[in-house]
Amino acid sequence: MRRHAAARRRDGRQDVLDLVQDVLLCLLERDGQELRRWDPERGRSLDSFVRLVARRKVARVLAQVRGNPWCLAPIDAAPEPFNNAALLRIEVRASLASVLDGLYAGMETRDAELFELSFVDELDADEVGRRMGMSTGAVNAWRYRVRKVALKLAARLDAANDSRSCATQRGEAADGR
């Protein structure tokens, strides 16, 4: 973040402090619900858990317009050349963040723990089952259900994006562009 600020001749220290404050609020809101999700028996230190939460929070903030300090930067007179690959990566990352947010919104604490063990820590079903006191079959069934929910969320997001782009194109056609 600081390197990005230096490249734009901005002082990024305040932006970093703002993001730190956002992460602390995220950890402590709702009586520290996010912080209480940390379990030392799962093998992750508190420092590592906070780093994980911070990375997710900062990625969400920077993927959005609202709250992103870089979206408020003045527009250059000569914009940089259009890069399709970079734009596609940004769109995919934003879509994945939206799907992840949707998944977490519908999860209880135990589901979130299962999700982190299965998909963040990438443990096999036997290990996840051992840590959570579940059978391997139950873990695999839970993973299958989560994948189905993720696919539905992604399809809904794609449909919403398609309808927005169609509306924009219809508006441009009506304007004669």
Distance CA 177, CA 153 (A): 33
pLDDT digits (tens, 9 = 90+) for 95-112: 888 888 888 888 888 998
pLDDT digits (tens, 9 = 90+) for 129-172: 999 999 999 999 999 999 999 999 888 887 776 665 555 454 54
Instruction: Look up tokens 């230190």; give the residue.
Output: 45
Level-2 CATH architecture, domain 88-177: Orthogonal Bundle (1.10)
pLDDT digits (tens, 9 = 90+) for 12-32: 676 777 777 777 777 777 887
Distance CA 17, CA 37 (A): 24
3 in Cβ contact with 9 (< 8 Å): no
Tell me the whole-structure pTM to 2 decimals. 0.47
User: Domain-by-domain residue ranges, the chain?
Assistant: 1-73, 88-177
50 in Cβ contact with 27 (< 8 Å): yes
